[in-house]
Amino acid sequence: MKNKLLVIYNTCGMNLDAPYIIDYYINSIEGLLEQDFEDYKIVLSMYKNSLKCKKVLAQRFGNKISYVFYDEGLLTVNQTFNKTIQLCVEKFGKFEGYFYVNSGMTFGPCRTTTHPVHGSAYYDRDPNILKKLYETFKSGPYSMATVLVDWDAGFSQIGFKYDSGPPAQIQGEDFIIPVGKAVNAHIQIYSHEFYEAYGRRVVPDVFAAYCSESIHSFLNAAIKKKWVIMKDIILHHQGTLEGSSSASFPHRSLKYGNPWNNLLHGRSALDFINDPEAIEAGLGYEECNQIMMHKEEAFDENGYAKYPEKLKEIIKKYFFLSKDEFDYDKIICKHILNYKS
């Protein structure tokens, strides 16, 4: 396949244009452009960033990258990521994988030296990250491949201690995330098979905020694939660069008073938690907080669903919005998709 990876760098400025934020964007995008890798396209997906911010980035990068601007409506980052993939597949054709990059990511570890003007830290940039992650992604039956980050990784769920100090790295061999487990999804590749299986979407779009990672292992198991974390690499993640869950504002306000029942369009998590068919198919949800534990007998020794079509049907029913609820064709956006990028 000609198109190996579509790299989508996601920002949600909510009209913020502080110099340190724009500088951070520039550093991150430059890190992507420096990657020693062929057949990838970079798209800057921006939700309600300021005109100043958009101009600075467009002048800096020109047609080296593509751009999608979301300036209207209330949209979550899950929805804009899905829409950006759809636009690019229509323009360029399908890719082997779709690489989600949170705006707080850099392509190397953080150093303590600070910039003499605005005080931001310098970052060593590694030009081999994309190549190494792609090789991991292609090395096994994987539909998701994730990179370890140094902040807000959520790795305690899979047995790695995480505190105020450096997190324990996954070393020696890649780590396959077991069914029912999850880590925070700041930077990872999703396969084209994943995209097709869930109706030209890779990230569940029912969530107002919080908890969407908790079902990723089930999305993989339903298509008989796995979710892997790449070994021996750790990248710096600047958490809350734009504000926590900023892309979900004002959706992130808790309708039912708790994070795990915070869904869009009047939906309630209790519907699938209490659905006998969902339980029988093996669905679990927010297992780190004991909300809905999956039925182990519904999976084989490889961690694949024994009733894959049933589990996939349940997932699509409860975690992806219907076209009546949310129509991707009606999302208003402007885009400049460059073949040269």
**Model confidence pLDDT, tens digit, residues 218-253:** 999 999 999 999 998 888 888 767 765 444 454 555
CB 193 within 8 A of CB 201: no
Given a cut of 80, whether residue 44 has pLDDT beyond it is yes
Extents of the domains making up the chain: 5-253+322-336
| Strands in 93-162 per DSSP E | 97-102, 110-114, 121-123, 142-149
Least confident stretch, 16-20, 202-206, 298-302: 16-20
Given a cut of 70, whether residue 145 has pLDDT beyond it is yes
CA distance 11 to 8: 10
* Residue-level pLDDT at 247: 44
* Residue-level pLDDT at 29: 95
- In the chain, % of residues over pLDDT 90: 68
The domain defined by 5-253+322-336 folds into Spore Coat Polysaccharide Biosynthesis Protein SpsA; Chain A (3.90.550)
Q: Rounded mean pLDDT of 134-155?
A: 91
* Residue-level pLDDT at 255: 61
CA distance 307 to 72: 40
Given a cut of 80, whether residue 118 has pLDDT beyond it is no
Q: Rounded mean pLDDT of 3-32?
A: 88
Given a cut of 90, whether residue 307 has pLDDT beyond it is yes
* Residue-level pLDDT at 117: 39
What stretch of H or E contains 119? Answer: none
Which of residues 83 and 171 earns the better pLDDT score? 83
* Residue-level pLDDT at 243: 61
Confidence of residue 163 (pLDDT cuts 50, 70, 90): very low
- In the chain, % of residues over pLDDT 70: 86
Report CA 17 to chain centroid distance, whole Å.
23
CA distance 104 to 241: 6
Token reading at 78: 């899950």
The whole-chain average pLDDT of the chain stands at 88
CA distance 219 to 227: 9
Given a cut of 90, whether residue 53 has pLDDT beyond it is yes
CB 233 within 8 A of CB 173: no
Given a cut of 50, whether residue 113 has pLDDT beyond it is no
Q: Rounded mean pLDDT of 311-324?
A: 98
pLDDT in tens, 268-287: 999 999 999 999 999 999 99
Helices and strands (DSSP H and E) totals, the chain: 9, 11
CA distance 248 to 229: 26
Which of residues 68 and 243 earns the better pLDDT score? 68
pLDDT in tens, 185-215: 999 999 999 999 999 999 999 998 889 999 9
